Amino acid sequence: MSSAFLITFIVVVIVIVIMIVALFCDFVKWICCQEGQSTTDDQTQTITIYAQTVERFLDDMAKEKPIRFSPQQLESFTGKYSRKLGSGGFGIVYKGKYPNGVELAVKVLNSSATEEVKEQFMAEVRTIGRTYHKNLVRLYGFCFDANLKALVYEYMENGSLDSILFYKNKSIEWEKLHKIAIGAAKGLEYLHHSCEDIIIHYDIKPGNVLLDSNFSAKVADFGLAKLCDRDRTHVTMSGGRGTPGYAAPELWMPFPITYKCDVYSYGMMLFEIALGKKNLDITMSESQQWLPIRVWEKLERGELCDFMGFNGVKDEDITKASLLCTVALWCVQYFPEARPSMIRVVQMLEGSVEVTTPPNPFQHLISSGIGLAVCSQTTEGTSENSYKDSTHIMKKYEIELAISS
């Protein structure tokens, strides 16, 4: 939705609402005249309250603030929650529709939601509720009631990026994948560099990049996001954060955090976009299981283009796919300061700056002789036992990779 269209829509809504209020006032006065009565104090108060409610609505619309919906409104929007889109640990997502026909996705939290899930709910409202960008999913509003807590988003027709990349019954041209990679990068660029406060997402992965009807990418799921004052260079936090396999190494260590952790996660996702497969494949031999280090080895030997072809990338797409992998290697540099900003990443992907050969992002594994011990901190749903049960290759590369079907 363009800014021009949004402004036009707001103006039209304002005009219509003013007309409705005027007609309503005239109608009340006519009733009073018919009954030989003057407008009572109660009637005047009703009109005033109605007008104030409309004004608050229009003010929220103008400021692009999320609207607070009632449980009754959400029940109406979703047709009494008749169409389920998906579910997870947080709750269930339903498809809905505004009275004007605009489609919605309504995320309803489980009634037994933990305090952590409720905190994620508030994080979504606090962060994405104050942003507007074509590559960020739009939060229309929310419901925070004793019996219902829900978030109302714009509906994304083509679902999440992971459903396109990892399921054989869905396919997409490589040119669109390149466009998706750039769109997601621009969404992160906005969060890091264009908002009043820096917004660190903390959970960039294909499942959190949604696609609209034109396969335009929009970053979603801000449940782990944090605001960071631009005067501060680091964020201190306790406990692990993000999804194993995409989370930057520093998120599992007692070190200060910067927005560069999002750059690392984006790089991990970029490998998967370029090659259309998950970064971990336990069906391969141990030396072949982890995709990022295989990409580095091929680049170092001058065999990256051949590697792309071997993995099913068409000849006409090999150059761009190789570019994505090279940019990904820059993004996953071990030290945060060695990673490019998302401004630079966008420039590299769009070809406006030269993309040089990156340093080896896995050099520390060689120089140290052994991998660092895996931190015992865990994310929700990840137990310490799962760390102990990790394969040797996961520990070797210092990251815990979530194995999912």
- Mapping DSSP onto H, E and C, the string for 356-395 reads CCCCCCCHHHHHHCCCCCCCCCCCCCCCHHHHHCCCHHHH
Rounded CA gap, 181 and 269, in Å?
A: 9
Q: What is the DSSP string of 60-127?
A: HHHTTPPEEPPHHHHHHHTTTTT-EEEE-SSEEEEEEE-TTS-EEEEEEEPTT--HHHHHHHHHHHHH
Rounded CA gap, 115 and 291, in Å?
A: 36
Rounded CA gap, 403 and 405, in Å?
A: 7
Rounded CA gap, 155 and 210, in Å?
A: 9
Helix (H, G, I), strand (E, B) or coil at 320: helix
Rounded CA gap, 368 and 371, in Å?
A: 7
- Is there a binding annotation on residue 147? no
| Long-range contacts formed by 353-358: CB under 8 A, 24+ apart | 355/323, 355/326, 355/327, 355/330, 357/299, 357/326, 358/326, 358/329, 358/330, 358/333
Helix (H, G, I), strand (E, B) or coil at 276: coil
Spacing of C-alpha 60 from chain mean position: 23
Q: Give the other-Cβ count within 10 Å of 211's Cβ.
A: 21
Q: Are 136 and 187 in contact (CB under 8 A)?
A: yes
- Is there a binding annotation on residue 107? yes
- Is there a binding annotation on residue 169? no
Rounded CA gap, 81 and 367, in Å?
A: 56
Q: Is 315 a catalytic residue?
A: no
Q: Give the other-Cβ count within 10 Å of 57's Cβ.
A: 14
**Set 41, 60, 162, 203: catalytic member:** 203
Q: Are 247 and 265 in contact (CB under 8 A)?
A: yes
Token pair, residue 70, equals 């009632």
The residues annotated as belonging to the active site are: 203
Annotation: binding site for Mg(2+): 208, 221
Going by the annotation, the residues of the binding site for ATP are: 107
Could you list the residues known to form a binding site, using ranges: 107, 208, 221
